Amino acid sequence: MTKHSLYGKTETTVLFSFQEALAVSLLPAFMGGTVTEYKQQSACLCLAQAKHSEGKHFSSLLNSTPLTSAGKMAKRVAVILSGCGVYDGTEVHEASAVMVHLSRAGAKVQMFAPDVEMMHVVNHCEGKPVTDKRNVLQESARIARGDVTDLAKLDVTAFDALIIPGGFGVAKNLSDWASKGKDFSIKPEVEKVIKAFHQAKKPMGMCCISPVLAAKAIPGCELTVGHDSECEKWPYAQVAKAMAELGCKHLNKNVGEVHIDSKNKLVTTSAFMCNAPIHEIFDGLGVMIKEVLKLA
């Protein structure tokens, strides 16, 4: 009996028989994984009968690429968070919608966030800053149910796609857009990841305010944050105009639509840049996830 790492946790590895392998479906709690993770791996268990006589380690099957319910290789997707809460972190509804759509598609997801202090903390009842000091990684753990990794540890080669939900944390903690506008800069660890995915020709999905990161990191890219004419429905339209000044091409799209920059494998949608009902935001994010996974 040995120890090994499974999904970032230390687990017990044993030599197994086919019958023992089948029993794993009854032991997710003891193995430290989730039921979903084990369901994704269940298709691999059919290999056990052929391999058990060779004395293969069960860990070799668990660490293989998971399969979707349709028998396809599951896409591995990294999601970058920027805190917890629309005014100083990740927009929670957007993050939740992203996770639901990725889960439904059978993707294997790992969430990341930079281990840095937040720009400031906002009282979400009053919409005003307070004197608290909080950490972006620790706040992101609220959304990730504790399962979030320091962004510095993100290995691009381990993933097929990248998703960055919106929220003011993108403009405050992943960059300084909130204070500098079009003259902003992206935090180095964030820019490094975006450029690495781009150079590897792996797709990225960005929504709400997060496309500003692509506008800066990928010169000449095409994207959308909704419409560029301000009105009650589109209260943040000035962002589109500012991004255009960075040299990217902005295309007006409705909340349920996305823009696909095929050359740069970049998929963007407006999400809460639009004053729309939450179900419309949810549906638009679903289109974004679908198109990103098509490109992966």
**Model confidence over 18-62: pLDDT tens digits?**
344 334 334 344 344 544 444 445 444 444 444 444 443 333 333
Entry pTM: 0.78
Which CATH topology does 76-295 take? Rossmann fold (3.40.50)
Task: Give residue 69's pLDDT band: very low, low, confident or very high (50, 70, 90).
Answer: low
**What integer pLDDT is reported at residue 66 of this predicted model?**
67
Task: Give residue 72's pLDDT band: very low, low, confident or very high (50, 70, 90).
Answer: confident
Q: Where in the chain is the domain with CATH 3.40.50.880?
A: 76-295
**Model confidence over 155-184: pLDDT tens digits?**
999 999 999 999 999 999 999 999 999 899
Average pLDDT, integer, range 120-139: 96
Determine which one of 208, 221, 248, 274 is catalytic. 208
DSSP string computed for the chain: -EEEEETTEEEEE-B--HHHHHGGGG-HHHHT--HHHHHHHGGGGGGHHHHGGGT-BHHHHHTSPPB-TTSSBPPEEEEE---SSTTTS--HHHHHHHHHHHHHTT-EEEEEE--SB-S-EEETTTTEEES---BHHHHHHHHTTT-EEEGGG--GGG-SEEEE--SHHHHHTSBSHHHHGGG--B-HHHHHHHHHHHHTT--EEEETTTHHHHHHHSTT-EE-SS-SS-SSS-TTTHHHHHHHTTT-EE----TT--EEETTTTEEEE-GGGS---HHHHHHHHHHHHHHHHHH-
**What integer pLDDT is reported at residue 12 of this predicted model?**
40
221 is catalytic: no
